[in-house]
Each structure stands twice: as structure tokens, then as C-alpha cells.
Structure 1
Amino acid sequence: MTNLAPLARSLGHEAILRKVYEQADLGPLATRLAERAGPRDPAAALDLSTLLMTQGGAMAAEGQAMQRAAARFQRSYEIPHGAATGPRILAFVTPGDFMSNTPIDFLLAGTDAVLILHFVDAETEDLSDLPPHDVAFMAVGEGPQNAAVLTNLCRLLQDFPGPVLNNAPGTILRLSRDRVSAMLQDIPGLLCPPTTRMTRAALTAVARARRFFDYPAVLRPLGSHAGHGLARVCDPDELVAFLSLNPEEEFYAAPFIDYRDAQGRFAKARVVLIGGKPFASHLAVSEHWMVHYLNAAMETNADRREAEAAWMEDFDQGFAKRHGATLQALAVRLGLDYFGIDCAEMPDGRLLVFELDVAMIVHDMDCATLFPYKKPAMRKLFDAFVALCDARSHL
């Protein structure tokens, strides 16, 4: 079951993305990695692929190709954190962008854990070559590109002899936006707008007929994240315009829900559930309905940071307590050890869920001067994750 050969040592996503957040000069690192990258040093190739993916566009595509090549050269990579004396956590991952797998490396920042990435894909025949580890984590996330991998993992992990967190690839397969909305409809205190998967042809026919199931509607291309291609359409003409700007063949459609607070602002929270317990990740506040942390201008609006700080500091006795029963029912319904939700509080007190995923980015890389309240909240979340891994390794 184990492979005792030395593992290639990778810098990991967290170390590289932290340099990007700090706006460090990446040229010297890129040069060193490029000089070493290849079959003889697949870890350098893997790290260079990460660096390329942070650049977007054609370079990101080149990075993903390099990542796939590195995974063919070697399947397992070691990423030590701190003193590397903590639990050895093996993550089953698959090649892809930053949203393809649970971002475990970010969750281990400031700990002494050792992360081992073990690449799998739809063609992986067995798991006989795993390196020594204390606990495993099924880290492959939902998405059209990962469906075949998750199906294969259902077979590979069926009789796995050791502890595996999130050992539910079949459940994760069902976390698409349309299936999640259907799955959560009857949970008390929760609102998840019904989401429909529609083809371009179907939406075109709807636009031509000058009708729609519910205006205004929110549309997005299948598999998109972080607001890519997301739009609110209020009439058939806007639907036609949306289709002209988005060439994809399949989309998600849902009714638009106005969740503005008493101040007329939209506040969208990211909450992570670890072992069924909720933890605060961030709160993005904006005057625009399409709010994400990267477009909410939190850095330049002190009042928005104050709102997030108050939300985080009061999280256990505030948000988590108000929605405790709903969150507990949600955790029981899914049966996952770790997942995140993007959500908001409705004026009537219900919890509005936009998305549920195991691969949401959770990190502590925001500027400590501007966001001094975030470090303690993220430390609490990270420690809870490592504690869960450590506890499960001793069962």
C-alpha cells in the first residue's frame, strides 16, 4: 500500500500565491524553476505550472499542460509546513485550475503539517503506490471536468483501508448548482433558489418567444466561478445580449433574489463547515448585487472592513448561533467532513445559499495592516482543520 521512495518536494500553492499577493518579484523564482523543470525534477515543473497559472490567459493554459505532464512524471509530491512534525495528510487531487481541488495547502498555513499531493485521474487503476501518511483527504471537487475522476474515485476508495476525510465522491458529484438547489429545498430556515440547467438552444428559443420562466433571472455558463459570465437579465432583449456575449453551450438559470440589507448593501459571506462546525472565512460587502471578495473593494472602504470585522468577531454568538439549526441540518444532509458555502442573510432571517462546494478558496493572505481581524479568524479555522485530520488519523 505504501511507497517508501523519497518524495519530490514542492513549494505548494500557498507559498507561491503568497508571493503573488505580496506583489513580490517572481522573475528570479520563475527562472530557477524553469532551469530545473523536467522529468528529472517534476516538483520544479509542478511549481512552475502553479506560477504560470497565476498569470491567467494563455500562460494559465500552458501551466495546466505543464501540471498534467508533471503528474505523469510522478504522482506524489510532498509539501512540508513549519517544522513538519504534524500529521501527514495525503490529498487525492487531479490536474486542473485552482478551483479543481480542495485548497488544503492554504488551510495548513502556519501549522506543522505535511501535505502530500497524490494525483489521480479517470484512468487511475489502483492506489497501490501511496506514500506513508496518517490520514487521507478526498480533495477532488465538483465540476464537469472532474465527473469521470470522481466516478473512478467511487471505485478506488470503496474499500480503502485507512481514514479518508470527505470520502464521498458520489456526494461531491451531486454538488452542481442545479442538484444542490434541489437537495436543499426542504431545510428549514434556508433559501436556495431553484436552479435549472439550460442549453443555448433552449435559451435562444425562450428569447425568441419573448417569454421566460421568471424575470429577472441570473444566468451563468456551466462550470464558471468567481462571477465569470454571470449576469442578471430582466427581459428577452437582455437575454439575447447575454447569449451574444457568452459562447458557451450550457448555462445555469435561477431567479434573482434581492438580499439587500437595511442599508441597501449586499453582503455575501463565505462560511466553512469542518466536522459540522461553522467557521468564518470572509464577508464581502458591496452596493452591487454581484459581489465577490475580489470585486467588493474592501481595501478602499473602511466601513466595509468594519462590517466584516464585526461579523467575524461576533461570528460564534451571532451568525453561527442565528443559523445554527439550519447549518447543522445542512451538514447532516451532506455528510461531508469539510465544505464551504457562499451565503447571505435575508431580511426575513433565512439563510440564502448561493453555492456549496468543497473547493472554495480559503486563505489568510490579505494584508494584516488593513485586515488585522482576519488572522485570528483564519487561525481558528486552520487549527480546526488540522485538529480534525489529527483526530481522524487516530481512529
Structure 2
Amino acid sequence: MDQSRLEQAFQHACRLQESGHYRQAEQAYRRFLGEYPDHAGGHNNLGLVLMALGELDEAVTRFRQVVALQPDHAQAHNNMGVAYKRMARPQQALDCYAAALRCRPAYAQALLNVGTIYYELKDYDEALIWYQAALEVDPDQIEVHMNLAAIFESRGELEEAKKHRDAVYSRKAVYVDHACDPRMTVLVLWGAGLGNIPTEYLLPRKSVTRIVCVIEYARPDELARLPDYDLVLNAIGDPDVMDPALEPMARLLHTCGKPVINPAQAVARTARHLIPDLLGGIENVVVPCTLRVESAALRDALHALPGNRFPILLRPVGSHGGDHLDKLESKADVAAFKPWPAPYYYLTDYVDYASADAGFRKYRVIFVDRQPYAYHLAIGSHWIVHHDTAGMQHDARKRREEEAFLADPRQALGDKAMAAIEALGHVLDLDYGGVDFSVLPDGRVLVFEANATMLAHPEKTQDIYDYKNPYVQKIYDAFDAMLARRMAAARGHV
């Protein structure tokens, strides 16, 4: 191949890649490399295309080919690390990033990627070191600022969190992630803070093009240039963080004319202090009384509670996953309690839900279009129960009980509790949401929370929890089918 034809063929493949036509780009790169097999850039770009297509093993092979040709190719080392990270192999990813930094010490993307490994491991101190190094090289990195904002918010440093969000979204608030084999395009309305619906698996990259719009920051000119889309997903799942987005969201939805998944008014009803009134009338459902109190008045409110209201649970608004959740056993604990920086706190009556075997069971059911799908069961020895800290990995009996719940939730919960869960899904009235709950000895359902922020993620293949994956896939399939129905109805093809 002469030099001019070589350059033309390579640039043609690059243009296909840049425009999101990944299948065509893959074919173009393969033809190009068939004639020029030692072109490092071609192998590197084909590796990137294969990552976009989800073909991670071959992507790694391509990046290895690059570093065999050019051992100091920092980008290929870094890209290989990204592929390993997506394969849930963090140590191999870190090794690749280290190789990239040996080739290019001031490589901002590799510094960012190391920081993100530690960020996802929740080693925030180490993540901060790497993110700061990345910003010293390139102060405008979007992902660094986004993750720093999340770290500072988790630490209660809200002004610092806002500074980093402003640094990102005031410049750009709309991002397009092209699918390689698109079946639909979804406009995802995102909140700048925590509390968004986890959409990574609900909207698969291979088949759904995502237009992510951080609605509270989006400028009119950005909204005017939105690509065409089929559906709108309101991904702001926590009503406590929704206020800044309500007005701009309403303006956009007033004119867009597209189906909306999880309308804001449905999400707003799921605030913790509103759930008792919303769900408390359902037969065989117990929803503990919850008060929303300004933090400045928190101690006075606690002192004013009668002694028989203790134990009581305290959590700052906007917190999830048990973060900053405290249990005060009596009024004597009030003096020692140190509130987390937050404008409001929730005070919830504690209900002892220990089972006859002294275990604490927390079930999660996901609702898709109001229908229940069993997602997980965690069994722990402490009243705060999370799947990853309950010791499930060390107890096959617990895992067998979880699998039995997933396979037949009605048999596991009993008819009374299952009927209550089914009714709860209809009253909750979310297109996507979930409920965390336990079952009391008398068969009633004790609700911990019910909202749209619920995560449903797959487990690693050949992991001890991979028995969950067929049931998780049912959730994704149901969500995908709902989107297809809504899209077809909007087009008049019911």
C-alpha cells in the first residue's frame, strides 16, 4: 500500500470510529491492518473500537500487539488498563497504568485512571493523591472533577464539592455516548450530585445511545442542540436532591413531546418522611414513622421525643447505603451524637426485625413498570445489613437461602408478604424503583426504604454469587421491554 493510500485508509477508519460507527470502523481497521500489519496506531485504534463493542479480550490482544511493536507506547498501556478495569481485574489495570506512567510520567489520563481505581475501592485518601497529580498536569479533566465532587460530598464538604461540579458542568452539561448497535436513543436527565439511578446496566452501551444531560446546569443553547431521542429517563432518583432540577426539567419536558420514564412528581413522593403516608395504608405493610428535621433544630427535636420513641435512627438527607446512619438507644445518647454536615436529618423509629435465628434479613425487590423482581437477600448478625458486609461470602447456607428467594419469592416470603409487595409496587407507581424490606415474625412487611435509586448489578462470572445473574438479567430484560413498549406506543405502533 503506498503512503497516500495508507493515510487515506487509516483516516477513513478513524472517521468511522469518531462518528460512533464502530462495526464499520472495526471492518475498516481490519482491512487496513491486513495490508499494514505493523501499524501500531491501527492496532491501538482497533483495540479501542473492540472495547466499545464489549470485546475486551481481543482488545487486550490488540493493545499487547501495540506494545510489542512500540514498548514505550504509553496510550496502549493505558488503554490495556482500561480494558482490564472493565473486566473487573483492578490489579492488572494498575500494572498497566504504571507501565504507561513509566513511559510518560506526566500522563494525565493514566493518573486519573489510577485515582479512579482507588476511588471505586473507596480508598478516597489515595484517590485524592492521584487526582491532584492529574489536575496538576491538566486542570480541566472532567472525570477528575466529578469524582472529587463525589468524594467531598461524601465527607460533608459541600462547598468544595460544588466547586468541582461548577468546574465541569458550567462548561459542558450534555454528553453523548454512542451505542455501537443502536436500537434507541435515551435522553438521561442527571442530577449534579449523588442520588441518581444507576443506569450503567439498565441502558447497555452496545444497544442504547445515551444523551446525558446534567439538567440543572444545561444552558439553553445546549438544550437547543440536543440530538434526536426516543425517550426521556429522569435519572434523578433521590427527591432530596431534586429541587435544583425541577424547573429546568419542567421547561424541557413541556416541549419535548417524548415519553418520560419516572416522572419527577412520582419520584418526589418517595422522600423518606412521605413514605409512611404513601405506603402505610397497604395491608400488612409496616412503615416506621419518619420525621424530617432541620439540622439546626435536631438536638431540640431529639430532646423533645418521649423516651418510648427510642431507639431511633438518624441519617442526613441525601445519604445512601447506610452512610452516616446512627442509632440512638436512649436520650442519654443524644449528648454524644455528632451530626453530619447536612441541611436536614431524618429521624426514624427503630423496629427490631431480628428473625427467630437472631439473623437480620434485608430483602430487595426491584419494580419495573410496577411489577416486582427479586434482586437480593442479605442476612447478617447486625441490624445494619448490606450484602457485601453481611458475611454472605463465608456462609453457603445464607447463599442457598438467597438463591431460594430469587427462584421463588412467594415461597420464601409467604403469600401475605408477597401480596403486600405486589400492592406496594402499584402504590409506589414508579416505572423503575425498588424496596428494601424485611418480613416480621407475623408475616408483615417492614419497609426500610422505597425509591428509584435502587442498584441492580450483575455479579462476576464464576463468582460465588453468579447464581444471581439470571435473575438480574430478568430485571434488565423487563426494563428493556418497557422502553420498547413506550417507544412503540409513542410512534403509534402499539
> Could you state the TM-score of these two structures normalised by the residue count of structure 2?
0.66
Please tell me whether residue 90 in structure 1 is matched to residue 187 in structure 2: yes
Going from structure 1 to structure 2, the CA distance change for 1:16 and 1:256 (only over 3 Å counts) comes to farther
Partner-residue secondary structure (3-state), 1:144: helix
Please tell me whether residue 265 in structure 1 is matched to residue 332 in structure 2: no
2:65 alignment counterpart: none
* Residues 94-119 of structure 1, C-alpha deviations (whole Å, 9 max, x = no match): 3234xx21111122459733333233
CA contact (8 A) 1:8 1:78 kept: no
Superposed displacement of residue 388, structure 1:
1.0
Comparing 291-300 with 45-54, greater Cα deviation is found at 45-54
1:214 alignment counterpart: 309
Partner-residue secondary structure (3-state), 1:73: coil
Please tell me whether residue 253 in structure 1 is matched to residue 350 in structure 2: no
Please tell me whether residue 350 in structure 1 is matched to residue 444 in structure 2: yes
CA contact (8 A) 2:433 2:452 kept: yes
* Residues 161-209 of structure 1, C-alpha deviations (whole Å, 9 max, x = no match): 122211x212322322111222222111211111011234544235557
Superposed displacement of residue 57, structure 1:
3.5
Partner-residue secondary structure (3-state), 2:334: helix
Name the aligned partner's letter for residue 241 of structure 2.
Answer: Q
CA contact (8 A) 2:84 2:90 kept: no
What is the CA–CA distance in structure 2 between the aligned matches of 1:154 and 1:45, rounded to whole Å? Answer: 39
Please tell me whether residue 194 in structure 1 is matched to residue 281 in structure 2: no
- From 118, 130, 133, the equivalent of 2:226 is 130
Name the aligned partner's letter for residue 57 of structure 1.
Answer: Y
What is the CA–CA distance in structure 1 between the aligned matches of 2:243 and 2:258, rounded to whole Å? Answer: 24
- From 228, 231, 240, the equivalent of 1:144 is 240
The equivalences for 1:5-154 within 5 A come to 6=19, 19=86, 21-27=88-94, 28=96, 35=107, 53-54=119-120, 55=122, 57=124, 59=128, 60-61=147-148, 69-71=167-169, 72-73=171-172, 75-78=174-177, 80=179, 84-97=181-194, 100-108=195-203, 112-121=207-216, 124-125=219-220, 127-154=223-250
Superposed displacement of residue 278, structure 1:
0.7
What is the CA–CA distance in structure 1 between the aligned matches of 2:472 and 2:419, rounded to whole Å? Answer: 23
Going from structure 1 to structure 2, the CA distance change for 1:225 and 1:306 (only over 3 Å counts) comes to same
Superposed displacement of residue 155, structure 1:
3.3
Structure with the larger strand share: 1
What is the CA–CA distance in structure 2 between the aligned matches of 1:46 and 1:133, rounded to whole Å? Answer: 31
Flag the structure with more relative contact order, 1 or 2, with Cα contacts below 8 A and sequence separation at least 6.
1
Partner-residue secondary structure (3-state), 2:254: coil
- From 243, 248, 251, the equivalent of 1:155 is 251
Please tell me whether residue 388 in structure 1 is matched to residue 482 in structure 2: yes
1:181 alignment counterpart: 276
* Residues 258-293 of structure 1, C-alpha deviations (whole Å, 9 max, x = no match): 112222211101111001111122111101111112
Partner-residue secondary structure (3-state), 2:356: coil
Name the aligned partner's letter for residue 77 of structure 1.
Answer: V
Runs of at least 5 residues in structure 2 that lack an aligned partner in the other structure: 1-17, 23-47, 55-81, 129-146, 151-160, 490-494
CA contact (8 A) 2:282 2:420 kept: yes
Partner-residue secondary structure (3-state), 2:188: strand
Superposed displacement of residue 339, structure 1:
0.7
CA contact (8 A) 1:207 1:237 kept: no
CA contact (8 A) 2:439 2:446 kept: yes
Runs of at least 5 residues in structure 1 that lack an aligned partner in the other structure: 38-43
CA contact (8 A) 1:165 1:337 kept: yes
CA contact (8 A) 2:83 2:93 kept: no
CA contact (8 A) 1:8 1:76 kept: no
Going from structure 1 to structure 2, the CA distance change for 1:47 and 1:175 (only over 3 Å counts) comes to farther
Name the aligned partner's letter for residue 293 of structure 2.
Answer: M
What is the CA–CA distance in structure 2 between the aligned matches of 1:85 and 1:208, rounded to whole Å? Answer: 57
CA contact (8 A) 2:259 2:486 kept: yes
Going from structure 1 to structure 2, the CA distance change for 1:22 and 1:212 (only over 3 Å counts) comes to farther
Name the aligned partner's letter for residue 363 of structure 1.
Answer: H
Superposed displacement of residue 17, structure 1:
11
CA contact (8 A) 1:154 1:170 kept: no
Comparing 330-339 with 49-58, greater Cα deviation is found at 49-58
The equivalences for 1:360-375 within 5 A come to 360-366=454-460, 368-375=462-469
Partner-residue secondary structure (3-state), 1:193: coil
CA contact (8 A) 2:215 2:248 kept: no
Name the aligned partner's letter for residue 199 of structure 1.
Answer: E
CA contact (8 A) 1:368 1:375 kept: no
Comparing 85-94 with 304-313, greater Cα deviation is found at 85-94
Going from structure 1 to structure 2, the CA distance change for 1:359 and 1:151 (only over 3 Å counts) comes to farther
Comparing 157-166 with 108-117, greater Cα deviation is found at 108-117
Name the aligned partner's letter for residue 224 of structure 1.
Answer: S
Partner-residue secondary structure (3-state), 1:186: coil
What is the CA–CA distance in structure 2 between the aligned matches of 1:150 and 1:264, rounded to whole Å? Answer: 44
Comparing 293-302 with 341-350, greater Cα deviation is found at 293-302
Partner-residue secondary structure (3-state), 2:473: helix
Superposed displacement of residue 297, structure 1:
2.0
Comparing 153-162 with 319-328, greater Cα deviation is found at 319-328
What is the CA–CA distance in structure 2 between the aligned matches of 1:351 and 1:209, rounded to whole Å? Answer: 29
Identical-pair percentage: 27
Going from structure 1 to structure 2, the CA distance change for 1:195 and 1:276 (only over 3 Å counts) comes to same
- From 261, 264, 267, the equivalent of 1:165 is 261
Aligned length: 378
1:41 alignment counterpart: none
Structure with larger Rg = 2
Structure with the larger helix share: 2
Superposed displacement of residue 92, structure 1:
1.5
The root-mean-square deviation of aligned C-alpha atoms, in Å, is: 3.7
Superposed displacement of residue 69, structure 1:
4.4
> Could you state the TM-score of these two structures normalised by the residue count of structure 1?
0.81
- From 308, 312, 320, the equivalent of 1:225 is 320
- From 338, 345, 370, the equivalent of 2:432 is 338
CA contact (8 A) 1:8 1:77 kept: no
* Residues 321-362 of structure 1, C-alpha deviations (whole Å, 9 max, x = no match): 654543343333333211111111121111111111212221
* Residues 103-146 of structure 1, C-alpha deviations (whole Å, 9 max, x = no match): 11122459733333233116654843322333221111224333
1:290 alignment counterpart: 384
Name the aligned partner's letter for residue 96 of structure 1.
Answer: G
What is the CA–CA distance in structure 1 between the aligned matches of 2:176 and 2:21, rounded to whole Å? Answer: 5
Superposed displacement of residue 389, structure 1:
0.9
Name the aligned partner's letter for residue 165 of structure 1.
Answer: I
